[in-house]
């Protein structure tokens, strides 16, 4: 759906984007993660046709009329009501202008409700809170049923419930549209994306299926949870003495982190070694590799 080659954007001497080869598969939900200043907004702006690149190629496989963009801080004419803003977005976003009035009204109601704004829809948006403006932006983005949706930090101003609703909304778009959204909230990216790009200082450090990023980084580490700190001390001492255990350290009170040579070895030997200590074990699990950990490893 989107492909860039050697994309560069310079502001004076500073390269906000420095040779980005982005590839967003059609129908995917793609998460663009990166710290502040990584170049996410700049990249989305270029893809949306709002900014010019300095060098490189950009190919977007749909016409500009099929693309909808949610800016990071959406702004609207303050004298319009939420409903009027969405009606305007529908009129502007529909190819060939507004459709039959009845169908339009239904569609506007539908997206206002999906965005959690039904009750506030007849109030002037000048009085909306930041989170409500973000919800209104989302309603405007979706109303004309675009094929490609670019969302810049769609959940950044939202309360936990609002964030949940936006993530659920993005999930329902899967298959109907291609969604590219930027976020520095890695949990959100991990939850809804099938593909991720990690942008750092204008460079894409990783791009591909989320599973590749996480599996490729699996660390042979186990977490053993016990009832008490003395139990944890006993287990850590016993495991440290074993030749196939690299290290066993007590953390967070009654938790032992065990680093082993290979996961397979640990799967065979660890349960027996724990049983031999005679200490009651609450749980034993391989350490989950989070996107956050992979991200920190890549960007540090
Ligand atoms: N109009 C501009 N003029 C000069 N420098 C700019 C301009 N816009 C962006 N930059 C610089 O480009 C870099 C990337 O900025 P960008 O806004 O794309 O980052 P971001 O990943 O969206 O960050 P954030 O998470 O804070 O939104 C930053 O160093 C920023 O200072
Ligand atoms: Mg930004």
Nearest CA to ligand 1 atom 27: 36
pTM of the complete model: 0.81
Domains 2-215 and 221-288 share a fold: no
Ligand approaching nearest to the C-alpha of 50? 1
At residue 32, the 3 state secondary structure works out as strand
At residue 300, the 3 state secondary structure works out as coil
Ligand approaching nearest to the C-alpha of 51? 1
Bridge partners, residue 5, by sequence? 57
* pLDDT value at residue 77: 96
Which residue among 13, 15, 38 has the greatest number of ligand 1 atoms within 8 angstroms of its CB, and so is best to mutate?
Answer: 38
Q: At 110, which helix (H) or strand (E)?
A: helix 101-114
Judged on CB neighbours under 10 Å (0-12, 13-18, 19+), 14 is: exposed
Nearest CA to ligand 1 atom 12: 16
- The H-assigned helical ranges of the chain are 40-47, 82-93, 101-114, 130-142, 160-173, 186-192, 210-215, 229-240, 263-277, 291-299
Nearest CA to ligand 1 atom 29: 37
Cβ 232 vs Cβ 255: under 8 Å: yes
* pLDDT value at residue 174: 87
* pLDDT value at residue 101: 54
Question: Is domain 2-215 classified as CATH 3.40.50.720?
Answer: no
Ligand approaching nearest to the C-alpha of 199? 1
Which residue among 10, 11, 199 has the greatest number of ligand 1 atoms within 8 angstroms of its CB, and so is best to mutate?
Answer: 11
Report the half-sphere exposure of 157 (CA within 13 A, side-chain side).
16
Contact residues of ligand 1, CB 6 A cut-off: 11, 16, 34, 36-42, 72, 184
With residues binned 3-state (H G I as helix, E B as strand, rest as coil), the percentages for the chain, rounded to 5, are: 40, 30, 30
Q: What does each of the 300 residues of the chain score in pLDDT, given as a tens digit? A: 999 999 999 999 999 999 999 999 999 999 999 989 999 999 999 999 999 999 999 999 998 889 999 998 889 999 999 999 999 999 887 655 455 555 688 999 999 999 999 999 999 999 999 889 999 999 999 999 999 999 999 988 888 888 888 888 888 888 889 999 999 888 888 888 989 999 999 999 999 988 888 766 666 788 999 999 999 999 999 999 999 999 999 988 899 999 988 777 788 999 999 999 999 999 998 877 777 778 888 887
What is the 293 CA–ligand 1 centroid distance (Å)?
24
* pLDDT value at residue 287: 79
Q: Where are the domains of the chain?
A: 2-215, 221-288
At residue 142, the 3 state secondary structure works out as helix
Q: Please provide the CATH number assigned to the domain covering 221-288.
A: 3.30.70.100
What is the 262 CA–ligand 2 centroid distance (Å)?
40
Nearest CA to ligand 1 atom 7: 11
Ligand approaching nearest to the C-alpha of 35? 1
Cβ 248 vs Cβ 239: under 8 Å: yes
* pLDDT value at residue 176: 85
* pLDDT value at residue 216: 65
Q: Could you report how far apart the first and last alpha carbons of the chain are, in Å?
A: 31
DSSP symbol at 65: G
Cβ 6 vs Cβ 54: under 8 Å: no
Pick the closest to residue 118 from 142, 94, 135 (CA basis). Answer: 135
* pLDDT value at residue 212: 82
Q: Which long-range contacts (CB under 8 A, 24 or more apart) does 17-24 make?
A: 17/42, 17/43, 17/46, 17/53, 17/202, 18/201, 18/202, 18/203, 19/56, 19/203, 20/56, 20/199, 20/202, 20/203, 20/204, 21/204, 21/207, 22/197, 22/204, 22/207, 23/207, 24/178, 24/180, 24/195
At residue 250, the 3 state secondary structure works out as strand
Nearest CA to ligand 1 atom 5: 11
Which residue among 17, 41, 51, 189 has the greatest number of ligand 1 atoms within 8 angstroms of its CB, and so is best to mutate?
Answer: 41
């Amino acid at each position: 759906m989107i492909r860039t080659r050697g994309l560069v954007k310079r502001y004076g001497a500073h390269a906000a984007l420095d040779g980005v080869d982005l590839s967003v598969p059609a129908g995917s939900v793609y998460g663009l993660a990166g710290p502040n200043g990584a170049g996410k907004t700049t990249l989305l702006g270029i893809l949306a046709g709002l900014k010019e690149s300095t060098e490189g190629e950009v190919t977007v496989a749909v016409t500009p009329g099929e693309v909808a963009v949610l800016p990071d801080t959406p702004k609207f004419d303050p004298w319009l009501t939420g409903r009027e803003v969405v009606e305007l977005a529908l009129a502007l976003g529909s190819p060939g202008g507004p459709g039959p009035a009845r169908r339009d009204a239904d569609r506007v109601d539908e997206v206002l409700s999906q965005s959690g704004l039904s009750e506030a829809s007849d109030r002037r948006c000048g009085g909306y809170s930041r989170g409500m403006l973000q919800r209104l932006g989302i309603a405007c983005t979706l109303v004309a049923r675009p094929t490609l949706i670019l969302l810049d930090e769609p959940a950044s101003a939202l309360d936990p419930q609002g964030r949940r609703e936006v993530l659920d909304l993005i999930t329902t778009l899967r298959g109907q549209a291609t969604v590219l959204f930027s976020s520095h909230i890695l949990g959100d990216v991990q939850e809804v994306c099938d593909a991720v790009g990690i942008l750092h200082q204008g460079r894409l450090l990783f791009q591909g299926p989320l599973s590749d990023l996480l599996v490729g980084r699996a660390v042979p580490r186990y977490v053993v949870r016990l009832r008490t700190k003395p139990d944890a001390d006993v287990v850590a001492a016993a495991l440290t003495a074993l030749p196939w255990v690299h290290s066993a350290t007590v953390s967070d009170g009654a938790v032992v982190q065990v680093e082993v040579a290979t996961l397979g070895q640990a799967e065979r030997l660890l349960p027996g070694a724990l049983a031999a200590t005679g200490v009651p074990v609450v749980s034993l699990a391989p350490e989950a590799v989070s996107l956050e950990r992979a991200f920190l490893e890549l960007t540090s």
